[in-house]
Structure 1
Amino acid sequence: MESRDPDQSYIDGAEAGTGKTPSKTAKNETWEWIKALAIAGVLVFVIRYFVFAPFIVEGPSMEPNFYTNERLIVNKILYDIRPPKRGEVVVFHAPEGKDYIKRVIALPGETVKVEGDNVYINGQLMEQTFLKAALDKAAKEGRPWNTLANYKETKVPEGTIFAMGDNRSNSKDSRDPTVGFVPYKEIVGRADLIFWPVNKMGLVHFK
């Protein structure tokens, strides 16, 4: 058996040849964890504030397609790439300081008119497939889906959209002069995904 000089310093086998003391190795590992967590935190911040954001539906204005307390993921970067399209569901900053969720109906330069359940874009009847079941049910029951006043033909200004709630009889939207046309700069993004409740989880359909 090898004898050791009590006055001589030794490094045991696990540390031999590494050139690192246990305390230095632990410090390096801790620092790597800190860096990884910091990077993850930055990524979460960027995604949360610049790419995607959660949104909670409040009120009945988008029924029967969206209900109170449903959770959505809003794509915040899409409209930096291209303008909104008809039928898309958007979240925007309303004049009263709240965020509204509505559907894009008419685009810049188009004329829009609402007569009862019918919507006309540039004088042509708009197909509302996203409301077909609700419209058919209302017609079968002999009642209108939209009980609010008609909206006379009006041209949508450049850089804005005309948006309405799917629940036409119970929605404060572009038909209301306190809301009016929605400027592009006030649009937060497009609702892309329902993630709560679980039984409704899925992509948002725009047609």
Structure 2
Amino acid sequence: MKKFNIRRVLLLLLLLVGIAVILRTTLFANYVVDGKSMEPTLFDGNLLMVNKFVYELSDVNRFDVIVFRASKEEDYVKRVIGIPGDRVEYKHDKLYINGEFIEERFLESYKEASSVEKFTNDFTLQQITGEIEVPEGNLFVLGDNRQDSLDSRSFGFISNDQIVGKVDITYWPLTEKVNK
């Protein structure tokens, strides 16, 4: 009778491990942050768990931190600033979306610690992309370290098709977490 129970437990464990592996490979991905473009939210070497399935169920939200395919060889991690229909503008180091000031709380600590007078240079979406608003099916993304980030100010909009997923968890180092 004991052999039967042990076999059942082992079979159940094997089944659970198999399910976990399948879920892990289809729903989540691991990424390592490379560079300083997302400081102070994410740091070089942080290990991230990216939810690859969330945007099948819901829309991308402003200020989500996402991973997207920048090229065949590289993926980038950035923060969504503009969603379809948004008119994005920076004036006097402040973000305006559709003419309304939007506070970026996730940048406060970095701005306070920075010796830079102007954290984000003034621009309008039209100056950078030639578009007045973010087109349907596209996003405008920025790195949190505005002084040292290759983002939509350089390469323009990203397509929803480029999105790998949403950064949900920073699991190394253990004390870090994604600022919202």
Normalised TM-score (structure 2): 0.83
Amino acid paired to 1:70: N
Which structure ranks higher in relative contact order (CA pairs < 8 Å, sequence separation ≥ 6)? Answer: 2
1:82 and 2:66 aligned:
no
Gaps (5+ residues) in structure 2?
Answer: 127-131
Flag the 1:32–1:132 CA change in 2: closer, same or farther, 3 A.
closer
Partner letter of residue 165 of structure 1?
G
State TM-score, norm by structure 1: 0.73
1:95 aligns with 2:67: no
Cα 1:63/1:142, change in 2 over 3 Å: closer
Query: Any conservation in 1 of the 2:87–2:125 contact (CA below 8 Å)?
Result: no
Map residues 27-176 of structure 1 onto 2, 5 A cutoff.
33=10, 35-36=11-12, 38-95=14-71, 97-115=73-91, 117-138=93-114, 141=115, 143-146=117-120, 150-153=123-126, 154-176=132-154
SS at match of 2:166: strand
- Residue type matched to 1:69 in 2? G
SS class of match (1:198): coil
The one-letter code matched in structure 1 to 2:173 is: P
CA distance in 1, matches of 2:91, 2:73: 29
Tell me which moved more, 185-194 or 113-122: 113-122
State the distance in 2 between where 1:142 and 1:176 align.
Answer: 20
Give the CA deviation at 1:143: 1.5
Q: Report SS of the residue matched to 1:83.
A: coil
Q: Which amino acid aligns with 2:123?
A: N
Contact 1:53-1:73 within 8 A present in 2 as well: yes
SS at match of 1:44: helix
* 1:3 equivalent in structure 2: none
Deviations 1:69-117 (A, max 9, x none): 1111111111110111111111111135311110010110111123462
Structure 1 gaps of 5+ residues are 1-17, 19-24
State the SS of the aligned residue for 1:104. Answer: strand
Q: d(CA) in 2 for partners of 1:78 and 1:157?
A: 22
Post-superposition offset of 1:198: 2.2
Are the equivalent residues in 1 in contact too, given 2:52–2:165 (CA < 8 A)? yes
Q: Distance in 2 between matches of 1:155 and 1:199?
A: 38
Could you say what secondary structure the match of 1:185 adopts?
helix
Instruction: Flag the structure with larger Rg.
Output: 1
More moved, 186-195 vs 36-45: 36-45
